[in-house]
Amino acid sequence: MTYEEIGKEILTDWFKHGKKMLDFKLKDKSIRRAAMRNGNSQAPQYFKDIEISTKSGNVFVVVPYTNGKKMYQKQGLQIIVFSMFYYNGRLMVGRLMNNCTFVILYEIHLFKRYCERFLKKECEITKSFLIKFFKSNLLIHNENLYSKKRGQYNFARIRDGVLLGFLLSSNIAIYKTFITASMAKGNQWDTMELLTDRGEFRCLELIGRSVKYSPREGVNMDDPK
């Protein structure tokens, strides 16, 4: 399978099986009660993660969250959705974005670089680690850039730094490595400032509070300098 085929399979499996199973699990009213109790917080309020196993063998990890009563009434429950899987013997991660209509594939190399360059420590890439990473980097803004050395590639701004990779189609992307903001060069720096100036990263400076509830049941960037 190609990366694009993997992305399509993740999307199909989510809407065919995963979403229906999640809707059933989220019928529990304890989430709504918790959102109402916590008022109108500016920080995301995270609920206990849910694992959904589909008939196709995929396991989706879902982390529900909300920003309090007003946002819950306006937008409903928000979710982080990702899946860990092996491709050609290598662990990879697929995250669903934009109301689960866009798939981002992550090489594990990216998370290792994130630990090395941002966290300054070695990490074990586990479900718990990925939940923390996606909580810290809820939003992604990206632009296509071009360099003579790399050709066209995709530059994605997250709160903790930058992801580098490329778009495979209109709704599938793959990111292969991570750099810190200070490592950006040339047009990367200008693009990073442009994406950051959209202002949507400011709310993420707040640390999300965890809320407990009980549910019912073409560019080689493997090592950029």
pLDDT tens column, 5-52: 999 999 999 999 999 898 888 776 777 777 777 666 667 888 889 999
β-strand pairing of 102-107 with 141-147:
unpaired
Pull the structure tokens for residue 160: 């903790």
pTM of the model: 0.80
Q: What are the residue ranges spanned by the domains of the chain? A: 3-210
**Tokens of residue 187, six digits:** 């047009």
Closest to 6 in 3D by CA, of 130, 108, 96 = 96
From the CB of residue 99, how many other CB atoms can be counted at a distance below 10 Å? Answer: 8
Cα gap 151→174, rounded to integer Å = 15
H/E element holding 34?
A: helix 30-37
Mean residue pLDDT of the chain comes to 79
Q: Residue 153 in contact with residue 174, Cβ under 8 Å?
A: no
CB neighbourhood size of 143 (10 A): 14
Q: Pick from 224, 165, 155: which is nearest to 196 by CA?
A: 155
